[in-house]
Amino acid sequence: MEAGKSVDAYGSQPGHVTQQNDGVQAYTQALMEGIETWVELPVDRWPKHWVGKYRRPVVLPRIALYGHPDSGGLWEMHCEKMLIAVGFIMPDPEGWPSVFFHPQLKLLLVVYVDDFKMSGPKESMSKGWELVGSRIDMDVATDIGRYLGCDHVQELQVKLTVHDPPFAYLFDKSLPDPAAKEAAAAERTQDFWEVDAPKGVYIRHHCQPRKGYYVPGEEIINACDLSNMRYTDFVQSTSEDDAVSEWDTYLDEAGGYAQGKRKPAMWVGGATYLFTKSCKDPKVAVASIKRHKNSAKKKPLELRVSGAWTNCSKTNPVCPSQ
């Protein structure tokens, strides 16, 4: 396929054309060589004096018949030999087999089994096919058409901008790849933090099913200077009787944790809002954040993060804002 495209490109140069042709019963143009092979002839191909004399006669084939495992290779060697005999060379027989170039006529030829495709100066094409046909039985050359299963249509005098070629994206990274599949929307599977530093609000979004209310670790409470106020928003509650949201405190007066705060059924989604001691009115802050989120529902979620965060657990007690 690469060789065929190179012929197309070479034939698109000023003053050049591209044509294709077929070898007539290509395999049978090569002599049978190699491992001795015997074949049976169909009865309708027997000489008359065989009839009634032989039952299943076999003969040695003189030509490379279609179906023999060596016929393709025998034809390839024969074709190469004939093309080299009329002046074609193989620039890179290892990397680009079956690709030929005629130095005098400036013709580029690629052979795929019995399909010949050649391009070069318009005035050299007739001479090129004449040379090929002098050693290989060929059909009549035609303009490019169906090749390797694809219909090729050539247009002349077409001017393209730098953005028109199908591979322009390789040279300009700002252009999209037309063959690229649309990326699937990323879905979070682990709980994550959102921080609104100006309002003094830390939001823990819950992606994992849970029963218990979220309680931050002592290190997070101290590092982020959190108050004891907690607002839990059950976005996807599993029970119609569950409250949609709830305000409470998760620390007692002595600063200890309020243990045992749980819901009767598993819930997923939602978020826990925690507030710094500098947040003067948590309810106003939550209302402001929700208004902002509602106005941006149709836009991609862009979390406003103050710095980076790591996994907030007792084994790695780092404040989300640090």
We report the CATH number of the domain holding residue 112 as: 3.30.70
Domain membership flag for residue 298: no
Q: Are residues 198 and 149 in the same domain?
A: no
Q: Are 121 and 16 in contact (CB under 8 A)?
A: yes
Q: How confident is the model at residue 317 (pLDDT cuts 50, 70, 90)?
A: very low
Domain membership flag for residue 311: no
pLDDT at 111 over 70: yes
Q: Are residues 20 and 137 in the same domain?
A: yes
DSSP-based three-state secondary structure for 38: coil
Domain membership flag for residue 257: yes
Q: Are residues 136 and 29 in the same domain?
A: yes
Q: How confident is the model at residue 160 (pLDDT cuts 50, 70, 90)?
A: confident
Look up the pTM and report it: 0.49
DSSP-based three-state secondary structure for 145: coil
Q: Are residues 16 and 92 in the same domain?
A: yes
Domain membership flag for residue 89: yes
Q: Are residues 203 and 257 in the same domain?
A: yes
> Domain range holding 23?
2-153
User: What confidence score (pLDDT) does residue 259 get?
Assistant: 56
The average confidence (pLDDT) of the chain is: 83
Q: Are residues 137 and 199 in the same domain?
A: no
Query: How many folded domains does the chain comprise?
Result: 2
pLDDT > 70: what percent of the chain?
Answer: 85
Q: Are residues 47 and 137 in the same domain?
A: yes
Q: Are residues 133 and 231 in the same domain?
A: no
Domain membership flag for residue 318: no
Report the range of poorest mean pLDDT among 3-7, 40-44, 140-144, 152-156.
152-156
pLDDT at 281 over 60: yes
When mean pLDDT is compared over 1-15, 122-136, 210-224, the highest value belongs to 122-136
pLDDT at 175 over 50: yes
pLDDT at 172 over 70: yes
Domain membership flag for residue 271: yes
- What count of other Cβ atoms lies within 10 Å of the Cβ of residue 9? 13
Report the range of poorest mean pLDDT among 64-78, 140-154, 204-218, 238-252.
238-252
Average pLDDT over residues 169-186: 75
Q: Are residues 233 and 128 in the same domain?
A: no
Q: Are residues 258 and 124 in the same domain?
A: no
Q: What burial class does residue 123 get, using C-beta atoms within 10 Å of its C-beta: 0-12 exposed, 13-18 middle, 19+ buried?
A: exposed
Domain membership flag for residue 186: no
Q: Are residues 213 and 128 in the same domain?
A: no
Domain membership flag for residue 320: no
- What count of other Cβ atoms lies within 10 Å of the Cβ of residue 222? 12
Amino acid at the residue 314: K
Q: Are residues 135 and 207 in the same domain?
A: no
